[in-house]
Amino acid sequence: MRRDLTTPIHQFNGILQGKDGTTLTGMMLLANLSIHEAIMLTLNTEAELIALHTGIVKESLHIEYKASDSIDKRSEPRKLEMARDISAFANADGGQIIYGMKENKDHEPDGLDAGLDPREYPEIWFEQVLQQHVTPLLTSVKPRHIPLSNGRIAVAIDIPPSNGDPHQVDGRYYRRHNFNRLIMEHYEVRDMFRRATNPDLTIEFFFDKMKKQQALQHTPNAEDHGPVGMTPVISNRSNAPAMYAVSIIFIDAGLTVLTTEYEKLGVTRFNGHQVVPYRLRFYPNKSMPIFKEQPTLMPALGIIVPLNMINRPNDYLIGFEVRAPGCHTEGSNYVIVEFGRQLAIVTEPNKGRS
């Protein structure tokens, strides 16, 4: 879906704005939007493509850049490559592929290339390639031409997430992960088939204002800093709503936690770490069912890191387990990492520390 947003790109929650003032609507996380909702970039003009470059809009789970020469109607391997890339987005969270944009080694857009001949590559050609190579059919994928000033075109392909069975190409299932396309594991394929009939719940963690980083504030001679708010967000990747759910948030025992909404359980071990579990139950009479179109913000937790640990290389595990009828998922790849006097939520220990 598309929305018009209003904040500069450097805040990562609104309009994408280039250095020359060019703007375009973007795919960002907002506190008042569905957290996992893929908001497609509005890309209809060359100026909007240039803004991706000047605004340094990096590749991500939801966007990928491809040079024009990655498409060749005379090359069957390149047709298959395109089909694999598009099916991978559909099997993940959806997104967009832009053909005609170069990228650098840091996965940043590196400017438009010469583009494609619109007569040689009409929009229907992309649809025909997908019909030939992707099973089941991708009926909602929308390729479109974007005219360039040199008389040629770039191509943007909008790919919504699959609402049904996963899509395969050449007998394999692919999935978009960060900047890469990966062959899906057996359990991932099984889970996608299961989503048609059972909930598939997951939890993601954010600091205040839906950010992944948070500065620490403290006063001189204090034993610790002020509490940092951390909000778990529970979402459903299936079309089947979850009427009941029990969630447990695991917080590293080295952190102090302030909360009145969760039931604190006894210290245990989770994926090799000593943690304190905090339990929260969801009931229809207390909250809405958890359904795909509306992730739910869970009560915030106040996190305190001992001040004497601020400048030491410490990683604090945070994880989750969530159960509902037909669903049991857990995750432990969210870690609070300290570097200097800032916290960050990342997927691997030490990742991103300066």
In terms of DSSP bridges, do strands 273-282 and 213-215 run parallel, antiparallel, or are they unpaired?
Answer: unpaired
Helix axes 76-90, 123-133, angle to 10 degrees: 80
Higher confidence at residue 177 or residue 148?
A: 148
Best CATH choice for the domain 9-194 from the list 3.20.20.70, 3.30.950.30, 3.30.1280.10, 3.50.50.60: 3.30.950.30
Rounded to the nearest 5 percent, the helix, strand and coil shares of the chain are: 15, 40, 45
Higher confidence at residue 297 or residue 224?
A: 297
Best CATH choice for the domain 201-346 from the list 1.10.10.60, 1.20.1070.10, 2.130.10.10, 2.60.40.10: 2.60.40.10
Whether 312 shows a pLDDT value over 80: the answer reads: no
Backbone CA torsion sign across 175, 181, 184, 185: negative
Contact 90, 164 (CB under 8 A): no
Contact 274, 303 (CB under 8 A): no
Q: Could you give the CA distance from residue 135 to residue 167 in angstroms, rounded to a whole number? A: 5
Q: Count other Cβ atoms within 10 Å, centred on residue 39.
A: 19
Q: What angle do CA 79, 83, 85 make, to 5 degrees?
A: 115
* Highest mean pLDDT pick, 123-137, 192-206, 270-284, 286-300: 123-137
- What's the pLDDT tens digit per position in 335-353? 665 555 677 777 665 543 3
pLDDT band at 263 (very low <50, low <70, confident <90, very high): very high
> Which residues, in sequence order, are bridge partners of residue 286?
none
| Largest separation between any pair of C-alpha atoms in the chain | 71
Whether 232 shows a pLDDT value over 70: the answer reads: yes
Give Cα separations from 99 to 66, 136, 158 (angstroms). Answer: 5, 24, 12
Contact 155, 126 (CB under 8 A): yes
Whether 233 shows a pLDDT value over 80: the answer reads: yes
Task: Establish whether the linkage from the previous residue to 161 is cis, with ω within 30° of 0.
Answer: no
Task: Tell me the whole-structure pTM to 2 decimals.
Answer: 0.54
Average of per-residue pLDDT across 202-206: 90
- What's the pLDDT tens digit per position in 76-105? 999 999 999 999 999 988 899 999 999 999
Which among 28, 35, 36, 38 has a CA at the least distance from the CA of 6? 28
Higher confidence at residue 297 or residue 101?
A: 101
Q: Count Cβ atoms within 10 A of the Cβ of residue 285 and give its class: 0-12 exposed, 13-18 middle, 19 or more buried.
A: exposed
Number of helical (H) and strand (E) elements in the chain, helices listed first: 4, 25
Which pLDDT score is estimated for 350?
A: 54
Which pLDDT score is estimated for 214?
A: 80
In the chain, which residues fall in CATH 2.60.40.10? Answer: 201-346
Q: Cβ neighbours of residue 59 under 8 Å, at least 6 residues apart?
A: 65, 103, 107, 108, 179
Contact 231, 206 (CB under 8 A): yes
Q: Provide the token pair at 220.
A: 């001189």
Q: Could you give the CA distance from residue 158 to residue 94 in angstroms, rounded to a whole number? A: 8
The one-letter amino acid code at 79 reads: K
Give Cα separations from 282 to 33, 286, 298, 322 (angstroms). Answer: 21, 7, 10, 11
Contact 86, 138 (CB under 8 A): yes
Q: Could you give the CA distance from residue 243 to residue 10 in angstroms, rounded to a whole number? A: 38
Q: Could you give the CA distance from residue 227 to residue 303 in angstroms, rounded to a whole number? A: 5
What DSSP line would sit under 139-186, residue for residue? Answer: -S-EEEEEE-TTS-EEEEEEEPPPSSSPPEETTEEEEEETTEEEEPPH
